[in-house]
Amino acid sequence: MGFLLWGESSPASSTSSVPSSSSSSSAASAASENTAPAIVLKRAAKTKTASPAHSPFDAGQAALDAALVEHFGLSPGVASPLEATAWLPSSKSGPVPSSRLLHDAEKAEASLRLRPWRVAATRLNSQEAVIALANCIGKQTLARGVLLGNDLAYWAEMLRYAGALVARQHYLPGVRMVGGHCHSVWEPVITAEEQPRFAAFAAAMPPSARALTKADGKAPPSTAAASVLRAFLTDMVDALVRSAMPQTTSSKKGQGATSATSRILRASRAHPVVDSVHDAWLAALRSPDGRIDWLKKDVTDLKNTLTRWKRPITVLSKSPVRLCFRLEEPTNDDAPLNHALPALPAGDDSAWRVSYLLHPHDDHSLLLPIQDLWSGPKKRASVLKHLGADAREYVLSALGQASGIAPEIAASLKDAAPQGYSLDVQGAHRFLTHTSLALGQAGFGVMLPAWWTSKGAKLRPVIQARVAAPKLRSSSGLSLDTIVEFDWQASLGGAPITHKDLLALARLKVPLVQVRGQWVEVNAQEILAAADFWKKNSKNTAPARDILRMALGGEDAPHGFAFGGVQSAGWLSELLDQLEGRTVCAELPPPAEFGGTLRPYQARGFSWLAFLQQWGLGACLADDMGLGKTIQTLALLQRLWSSGKKMPSLLICPTSVVNNWAREAGKFTPELPIMIHHGLDRKKGAAFRRLASSQALVISSYGLLQRDMAVLKDISWAGVILDEAQNIKNPETKQAKAARAIPAAYRIALTGTPVENNVGDLWSLMDFLNPGFLGSQQEFRKRFFIPIQTGRDPEAATRLKRLTAPFLLRRLKTDTSIISDLPDKVEMKEFCPLTKEQASLYAAVLEDLNRTLYEVDGIQRKGIILATLSRLKQVCNHPAHFLGDNSAIDGRSGKLARLTEMLEEILPVGDKALVFTQFKEMGHILKAHLQDTLGREVLFLHGGVARKARDRMIERFQGDAQAPPIFILSLKAGSTGLNLTAANHVFHYDRWWNPAVENQATDRAFRIGQHHNVLVHKFVCSGTLEEKIDAMIERKKEISDAVVGVGEAWLTELSNQELRDLFALRKNALEE
């Protein structure tokens, strides 16, 4: 089967226009971001010839190809481009787009009908589809301007369903025809208990999930949703099982293929020479493509045989009751036990028993002994009332079918009232390892002892790395590159064992033994393999970094062993204890030269950063926005400099926050030499190397990280710090590769997004922080990403968390230990640069002012000054606002870039935001851009909105959990009379320069009924009149009413020279 991916974008995707006042959404990205805002996965179907028109919303092949590589985790060139037909609801004017964010019609069309439209598509095979869909799980957007269609989101969730089926072993091997060729397949088994869930998923399938046919189709797709879903699940289950093949020999539970799969695959390995169609089929079950190279007639006969073999599942799925088999262990506990080696149980050799029970599908809590069916009429009538009149006939039929799986069941049918059968220890082991699996996959219920289904089911000797940590020469000698010696120490049941003990254990002739009262399985081959490994690897050496990875579960245990961790002493023991949370790292006082006060949680964060930095380990500080990641990092830099480590650290951040970092450093660490490597006049070559080497901190941007890579790599950096580290989440981007390539003694990543929830982003981040710690990208994908995203391996997430938790610190504003440290309202300034275009327009406005200012006076002069002030504000907001020409939005405004970055950070954690602007036109631009970029509807309230519509907006924002999380308000329309306490962020995009008015607007969120801390963000363009006026207000806050309380009229009283100084464009205004 194939999977077709296609996309939609706005017909005007090369530009983004400002909607008219009557429009309610915007729909396009700029030319530089021209990827498909709605990507939708479809399934192909056979149809007749057609020649439809080209869809005006088709994203095009180039956008699809780019999206597959940049956002779906696929390698370039893996997919196959083609043209397909999409059957879409259409009006006379054209198709209805998949998202209202692409095109919002002024009025709904009265009648719609399905019509065919040509679209560019890309075909993915099953393995590629798994990777693509896994990257979509739990997301609404993949990147700026790349949104998920509702059907793609649906298929991503169905991939998780397929993973759950694999994890529960609900699949069987089979044969199918693909493209005229015979293929082996791992097919899902939808049991009677599973059927309601499957039906619900099929009913929830979006119509667009069945919208695609071949390009020459004349009729719309007619395949039922259930058939489409079953075909999809078959492809996904088959791909997931095959992707686990390399781990089929693993003895670990929760890893690789399941036990039933391993049993079948062991059979295939037992036939290295293909002598029959059966051998060819078994070999194909292990091959990547599953193709069976054999005569088609023989394969068809095999398929029919397999169909008959699986028939009991069909029969069982229609019954109201499920036949269950429960294995009951011996009850005597008098067996003598040895703490070093296990002993055989004493007593009756047939003390194990399998009992037959009945489990009604409509009552999950009821479990009835089968003997109740064979009891007297009164008891039997009571049971039949629960199970139905045909229950006896079904049970006998089911036992007959099960008898073909286990001869003991067949023998029990000789009794007039079969209730179960007895087993010896060999038979019990056979039931646990073979019979129970066959019964379960045939649709019967199987109940096994808890010790078998737990991690301790298999008796493996535990191996532990015993490390002798060398003495450190000094505190500066701490290094994870230090070579350490270690040997392996083995134990069994908590007691040490010798090599001779292992050999003796392997010679036991029973598969189940008791150790300290618990039954466990003994695999002689694995025990021998463990003994062999131990003999050959008694003494070892490795870098301390590898020991650390081993201790945190980053390495598999040697074959035959369970891994018992690392036993160490001295500094290595202390390090491991702190990393694994057994002890808390010491809290350090901030340096005396630090010019600020750290809140208690900030002091803990600073100490944590210092601890990891001391060991050369990378740290990701992922605190919520507003908790002070910047101040914690600056405290660390001051500590390093004050302790005599006079080496430069490199900070890479978005252009929009370069000036913010410089200001914060000047405020909190004024003694640190700071250098901004940015702008057209930045130092280059030898001049940069000389100057940078004498700095404590060099601040640069992600753009220059790529452009100036050659000179940045030449510096001996003490550390590299990435702010807004989500910028490197895609490891294939140039900036991610550049960040990993810069050498440094320590590395820090700062981000406000919940990185622990985005498995696909973790590898790139961790490979920057601690290179190689999570293995290669391919290893990470196989070991963690696919198992976690699909749910195939429930333990993979636990293993990954243990590996990454020591290097990841995330605190939320809602944490009880944090919220008490925070004030109710926190105000902060966001200093944003101008783009080159903005700077050019700003200069042109000033030039125009200089030409006219001296020619007028009185009211005319006041009018020119206020008009100039308004024009400069518009330039600072966005060139399209100033020009009013409906031109492209993205990439032209420093303010808008920073607002977008901040909203991208707060939305994933469920926060809501108010965005105030005094300009209605700018509100439309913001709405257009944010909807297109974030993929979420944005509310906009201005003076032209009718009262009824206004009340509906407020009601949605306040009470609807699914409501748009961003509410734009014009300052005059939204500054009074509104209660918007659902918001915990307030953004003042442009400034009124009247603190009373701005505070009144802020109080829409910060008022009675607000249960959260409110963060207020005031935007200021650096080097412009906005920065100058903001500074004046801050200096005169105590008399602000007298100075600026009447709005902006006071500016008209300034002299011409004062105006020129106030409006002048300063050097720090321009971004690179």
Cβ distance 610 to 643 under 8 Å? Answer: no
Cβ distance 388 to 382 under 8 Å? Answer: no
Q: What is the mean pLDDT of residues 43-65?
A: 72
* d(C-alpha 1016, C-alpha 626), whole Å: 10
Q: Give the tokens for residue 762.
A: 């973790």
* d(C-alpha 1009, C-alpha 395), whole Å: 62
pLDDT tens digits, residue range 254-271? 334 444 455 444 444 444
- Residue predicted with more confidence, 883 or 370: 883
Beta strand ranges found along 45-180 (DSSP E): 53-54, 80-91, 94-95, 113-124, 141-143, 146-148, 171-178
pLDDT tens digits, residue range 820-853? 666 677 889 999 999 999 999 999 999 999 888 8
* d(C-alpha 700, C-alpha 715), whole Å: 14
* d(C-alpha 702, C-alpha 143), whole Å: 17
Q: Is 254 left (phi over 0), alpha (psi -120 to 50) or beta?
A: left
- What residues contact residue 727 under an 8 Å CB cut-off, 6+ apart? 654, 702, 735, 736
Residue 312 has a pLDDT of 66
Mapped onto helix, strand or coil, the DSSP state of residue 986 is: strand
Q: Give the tokens for residue 397.
A: 């039929």
Residue 344 has a pLDDT of 40
- What residues contact residue 242 under an 8 Å CB cut-off, 6+ apart? 127, 186, 288, 290
CATH 3.40.50.10810 range(s) for the chain read 600-780+806-819
Cβ distance 57 to 10 under 8 Å? Answer: yes
User: Has residue 665 got a pLDDT over 90?
Assistant: yes
CATH 3.40.50.300 range(s) for the chain read 825-1069
Neighbour-count burial of 405, counting CB atoms closer than 10 A to its CB (0-12 exposed, 13-18 middle, 19+ buried): buried
pLDDT tens digits, residue range 182-233? 999 999 988 777 888 999 999 999 998 998 887 776 788 888 999 999 999 9
Q: Give the tokens for residue 766.
A: 């961790």
Instruction: Look at the block and give the residue holding tokens 């096994």.
Output: 448
pLDDT tens digits, residue range 127-179? 999 999 998 988 888 877 788 888 999 999 999 999 999 988 888 899 998 87
Q: Quick one: which of 316, 310, 264, 355 has its CA closest to 444?
A: 316
Element spanning 939, H or E: strand 938-941
What is the CB neighbour count within 10 angstroms for residue 816?
A: 7
β 141-143/146-148 pair status: antiparallel
Rg (CA), the chain: 34
Cβ distance 462 to 456 under 8 Å? Answer: no
* d(C-alpha 198, C-alpha 863), whole Å: 70
Cβ distance 205 to 161 under 8 Å? Answer: no
**Identity of the residue numbered 442:** A
User: Has residue 444 got a pLDDT over 90?
Assistant: no
Alpha-helical (H) ranges within 960-1055 are 971-974, 995-1002, 1025-1035, 1040-1044
Instruction: Look at the block and give the residue holding tokens 């939204």.
Output: 974
Residue 900 has a pLDDT of 94
Cβ distance 239 to 132 under 8 Å? Answer: no
User: Has residue 382 got a pLDDT over 50?
Assistant: yes
User: Hey, what CATH topology would domain 825-1069 get?
Assistant: Rossmann fold (3.40.50)
Instruction: Look at the block and give the residue holding tokens 């939305």.
Output: 907
**Identity of the residue numbered 121:** A
User: Has residue 109 got a pLDDT over 80?
Assistant: no
What is the CB neighbour count within 10 angstroms for residue 82?
A: 16
CATH 3.40.50.300 fits 600-780+806-819, yes or no: no
Q: What is the mean pLDDT of residues 96-121?
A: 76
Distances from the Cα of 6 to the Cα of 124, 149, 1054, angstroms: 11, 10, 59
pLDDT tens digits, residue range 478-509? 566 778 888 888 887 677 888 888 888 778 77
Of 96-105, 599-608, 613-622, least confident by mean pLDDT is 96-105
User: Has residue 272 got a pLDDT over 70?
Assistant: no
Residue 543 has a pLDDT of 82
Q: Give the tokens for residue 717.
A: 């950096």
What distance, in Å, lies between the first and last C-alpha atoms of the chain? Answer: 49
Beta strand ranges found along 204-297 (DSSP E): 212-214
Q: How confident is the model at residue 289 (pLDDT cuts 50, 70, 90)?
A: confident
pTM of the model as a whole:
0.74
- What residues contact residue 200 under an 8 Å CB cut-off, 6+ apart? none
Beta strand ranges found along 798-931 (DSSP E): 808-809, 825-832, 913-917
